[in-house]
Amino acid sequence: MTQINMVQSLNRSIDQLMAEDERIVVLGEDVGRDGGVFRVTDNLLNKYGEERVLDTPLNELAIIGMATGMAMYGLKPFAEIQFQDYIFPAFDQIVNNIAKVRYRTGGRFNVPLIIRTPYGGGVRGGLYHSQSGEAYFAHTAGLTVVTPSNPYDAKGLLVSAYRMNDPVIFLEPKRLYRANKKEVPDDLFEVEIGKAAKLKEGDDVSIITYGSMVPTVMSTVEKNGVNADVIDLRTLLPMDVSAILATAKKTGRVVIVHEAPRTLGVGAEISALIAERAIDSLLAPIVRVTGYDIPFPYSHEEFYLPDEKRIMTAINRVLKY
| Residue 274 maps to a domain | yes
The residue type at 167: P
Given a cut of 90, is residue 143 above it in pLDDT? yes
pLDDT band (50, 70, 90) for residue 282: very high
Query: At a CB cut-off of 8 Å and minimum separation 6, what does 236 contact?
Result: 134, 137, 138, 145, 146, 147, 210, 266
Q: Is residue 104 located within the same domain as residue 125?
A: yes
| Residue 139 maps to a domain | yes
Residue 300 known to be catalytic: no
Domain stops at, among 158, 184, 210: 184
Domain that holds residue 271: 197-320
Domain stops at, among 117, 150, 184: 184
| Residue 191 maps to a domain | no
Q: Are 112 and 71 in contact (CB under 8 A)?
A: yes
Strand order in the sheet with 114-119: 53-55, 24-28, 76-80, 114-119, 168-173, 144-146, 235-237
| Residue 142 maps to a domain | yes
Given a cut of 90, is residue 45 above it in pLDDT? yes
Q: What is the CATH number of the domain that holds 95?
A: 3.40.50.970
Query: 115: closest CA among 141, 129, 95?
Result: 95
With vertex at residue 232, the alpha carbon angle to CA 226 and CA 237, rounded to the nearest 5 degrees, is: 150
Q: Are 170 and 17 in contact (CB under 8 A)?
A: no
Residue 2 pairs in a beta bridge with 184
CA 140 to chain CA mean position, Å: 15
Q: Is residue 279 located within the same domain as residue 157?
A: no
Q: Is residue 121 located within the same domain as residue 262?
A: no
Q: Is residue 138 located within the same domain as residue 226?
A: no
Whole-angstrom CA distances from 11 to 17, 45, 137, 235 are 10, 12, 24, 20
Q: What is the CATH number of the domain that holds 228?
A: 3.40.50.920
Q: Is residue 124 located within the same domain as residue 43?
A: yes
Q: Which of 129, 139, 258, 300 is catalytic?
A: 129
Give the number of domains in the chain.
2
Residue-averaged pLDDT of the chain: 96
Candidate from 204-208, 288-292, 302-306, 313-317 with smallest mean pLDDT? 302-306
Query: At a CB cut-off of 8 Å and minimum separation 6, what does 286 contact?
Result: 254, 255, 256, 270, 271, 274, 275
Q: Is residue 95 located within the same domain as residue 180?
A: yes
Q: Is residue 154 located within the same domain as residue 28?
A: yes
Q: Is residue 165 located within the same domain as residue 269?
A: no
Q: Is residue 115 located within the same domain as residue 243?
A: no
How far is Cα 26 from Cα 41, in angstroms, rounded to an integer?
8
| Residue 190 maps to a domain | no
| Residue 192 maps to a domain | no
The 10 Å Cβ neighbour count of residue 307 is 14
pLDDT band (50, 70, 90) for residue 123: confident
**149-190 pLDDT per residue, tens:** 999 999 999 999 999 999 999 999 999 999 999 999 999 999
Given a cut of 90, is residue 126 above it in pLDDT? no
Q: Is residue 146 located within the same domain as residue 239?
A: no
| Residue 176 maps to a domain | yes
Per-residue b or e along 253-286, where b marks 16 or more CB atoms closer than 10 Å to that residue's CB: bbbbbbbbbeeebbbbbbbeebeeebeeebebeb
Q: Is residue 163 located within the same domain as residue 218?
A: no
Q: Are 84 and 171 in contact (CB under 8 A)?
A: yes
Largest CA-CA distance found in the chain, in angstroms, rounded: 61
Q: Say if residue 148 is preceded by a cis peptide, omega within 30 of 0.
A: no
| Residue 66 maps to a domain | yes
Domain stops at, among 162, 184, 206: 184
Residue 122: per-residue pLDDT: 84
- Rounded mean pLDDT of 286-299? 94
Is 255 strand, coil or helix?
strand
pLDDT band (50, 70, 90) for residue 300: confident
Q: Is residue 8 located within the same domain as residue 151?
A: yes
